């Protein structure tokens, strides 16, 4: 018998009531697996790695919520709280076929509201939810729960090594890493890159630069030698943040941003060229990234470097505080 089979099974008409699970509960991992949209039984295989990776990066899952009928999870949601005053929400994206879709939407919206309104722990400035483009019912539930759609993200990748493009390189720029300078240089570069940015501008002002950098640092396996900033004289004009995803044998381009007055002048090419040069013997097969589909200059830039689109997701956010910093 599965762990879920040991739970009280409410009547189907009662399934609008939700249950809260915490890590010590016997069924917590099964609920979390449903929120991750894993195939049945995968939580037995991959959950230790998933939880271990999150713990190592400072991510915390305080609780998970589920609606259960006839001993089956019909919907589930949870928040992964990360350093930097943000949380990533995960949620089951499709209803079981035997349940009415309208009831599933209402129930899932209730679970999402519980995730973002829980008073058990401090609430972050922003909750982020990434929804598959074909998960229309989850989009309905997210809207009903108070999330708002901000954009569609294009996921792109390139096999490693990437052949560096020599065009538009700036000889007057000095590219250094986080090993060579303090955090304040990266904070200034990040803040300047957000001015009039086309990359998810709805997020601008929700968190301080040091919080955003803390979130980026908790992505993958942080290595200060893979964080780069471009200096013109003593002024930072752009930054490139790379990280290892060791378990996937991949690298992720976490962020590439250029100050408003320096855009279109070769700063991004110089940064990426320098970052690729310094990868050296990194054991990875792929370099991956995500970009706002509205950011036409960035998409053209990555197209020119040979990156290919591998998929899309809809980006939704909820901001419980309702204010900007």
Q: How confident is the model at residue 14 (pLDDT cuts 50, 70, 90)?
A: very low
Are 188 and 51 members of one domain? Answer: no
In a domain, 318, yes or no: no
Q: Whole domain around residue 43: which residue ranges?
A: 4-146
Q: With H, G, I as helix, E, B as strand and everything else as coil, classify residue 263.
A: coil
Are 37 and 142 members of one domain? Answer: yes
Q: Residues 137-164: what's their mean pLDDT?
A: 95
In a domain, 321, yes or no: no
Are 167 and 39 members of one domain? Answer: no
In a domain, 324, yes or no: no
Do residues 257 and 213 lie in contact, with contact meaning Cβ atoms separated by under 8 Å? Answer: no
Are 185 and 101 members of one domain? Answer: no
Give one DSSP letter per residue of 102-127, joined into a string. HHHHHHHHHHHHHHHH--SSPPPSEE
Total structural domains in the chain?
2
Mean pLDDT of the chain: 89
Are 242 and 286 members of one domain? Answer: yes
- Report the range of poorest mean pLDDT among 2-6, 25-29, 60-64, 157-161: 2-6
> CA 201 to CA 219: how far, in whole Å?
21
> CA 148 to CA 151: how far, in whole Å?
9
Give one DSSP letter per residue of 21-44, joined into a string. E-TTSTTHHHHHHHHTTPPTTTHH
In a domain, 319, yes or no: no
Are 110 and 249 members of one domain? Answer: no
Are 138 and 199 members of one domain? Answer: no
Q: Residues 113-136: what's their mean pLDDT?
A: 90
Are 168 and 293 members of one domain? Answer: yes
Are 164 and 141 members of one domain? Answer: no
Do residues 72 and 208 lie in contact, with contact meaning Cβ atoms separated by under 8 Å? Answer: no
Of 101, 120, 146, the domain-final residue: 146
Of 94, 113, 146, the domain-final residue: 146
Q: Output the six-digit token pair for 163.
A: 């052949």
Of 96, 121, 146, the domain-final residue: 146
- pLDDT tens string 27-62: 999 999 999 999 876 667 789 889 999 999 999 999
Q: Between residues 164 and 308, which one has the greater pLDDT?
A: 308
Give the pLDDT confidence score for residue 247 in this predicted structure.
87
Do residues 37 and 31 lie in contact, with contact meaning Cβ atoms separated by under 8 Å? Answer: no
Q: Residues 282-311: what's their mean pLDDT?
A: 95
Q: With H, G, I as helix, E, B as strand and everything else as coil, classify residue 310.
A: strand
> CA 191 to CA 194: how far, in whole Å?
5
**Which CATH number is 187's domain given?**
3.40.630.30
In a domain, 301, yes or no: yes
User: What is the model's pTM?
Assistant: 0.90
Are 188 and 131 members of one domain? Answer: no
Percent with pLDDT over 90 in the chain: 74
> CA 325 to CA 316: how far, in whole Å?
20
Q: 């919907």: which residue's tokens?
A: 75
- pLDDT tens string 258-274: 999 999 999 999 999 99
- Report the range of poorest mean pLDDT among 64-68, 121-125, 200-204, 277-281: 277-281
Are 78 and 187 members of one domain? Answer: no
Give the pLDDT confidence score for residue 11 in this predicted structure.
43
> CA 252 to CA 210: how far, in whole Å?
20
In a domain, 325, yes or no: no
- Report the range of poorest mean pLDDT among 40-49, 107-116, 306-315: 40-49
In a domain, 86, yes or no: yes
Q: How confident is the model at residue 18 (pLDDT cuts 50, 70, 90)?
A: confident
Give the pLDDT confidence score for residue 97 in this predicted structure.
72
Q: Residues 168-180: what's their mean pLDDT?
A: 94
């Amino acid at each position: 018998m599965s762990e879920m089979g040991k739970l009280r099974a409410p009547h189907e008409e009662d399934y609008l009531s939700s249950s809260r699970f915490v890590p010590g509960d016997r069924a917590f991992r099964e609920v979390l697996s449903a929120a991750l949209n894993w195939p049945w039984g995968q939580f037995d295989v991959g959950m230790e790695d998933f939880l271990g990776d999150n713990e190592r990066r400072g991510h915390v899952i305080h609780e998970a919520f589920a609606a259960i009928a006839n001993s089956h999870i019909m919907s589930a949601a949870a928040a992964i709280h990360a350093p930097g005053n943000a949380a990533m929400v995960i949620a089951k994206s499709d209803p079981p076929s035997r349940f009415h879709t309208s009831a599933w939407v209402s129930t899932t919206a209730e679970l999402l509201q519980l995730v973002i309104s829980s008073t058990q722990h401090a609430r972050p400035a922003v909750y982020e939810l990434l929804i598959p483009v074909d998960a229309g019912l989850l989009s309905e539930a997210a809207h009903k729960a108070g999330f708002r759609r901000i954009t569609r993200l294009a996921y792109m990748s390139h096999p490693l090594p990437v052949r560096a493009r020599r065009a538009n390189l700036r000889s007057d720029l000095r590219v250094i890493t986080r090993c060579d300078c303090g955090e304040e240089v990266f904070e200034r570069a990040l803040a300047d890159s957000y001015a009039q940015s086309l990359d998810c501008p709805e997020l601008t002002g929700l968190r301080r630069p040091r919080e955003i950098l803390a979130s980026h640092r908790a992505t993958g396996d942080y290595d200060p030698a893979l964080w780069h900033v471009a200096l013109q004289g003593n002024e930072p004009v752009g930054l490139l943040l790379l990280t290892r995803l060791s378990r996937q044998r991949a690298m992720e381009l976490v962020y590439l941003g250029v100050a408003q007055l320096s855009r279109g002048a070769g700063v991004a090419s110089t940064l990426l060229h320098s970052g690729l040069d310094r990868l050296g013997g990194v054991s990875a097969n792929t370099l991956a990234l995500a970009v706002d589909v509205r950011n036409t200059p960035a998409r053209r830039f990555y197209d020119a470097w040979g990156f290919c689109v591998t998929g899309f997701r809809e980006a939704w956010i909820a901001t419980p505080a309702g204010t900007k910093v």
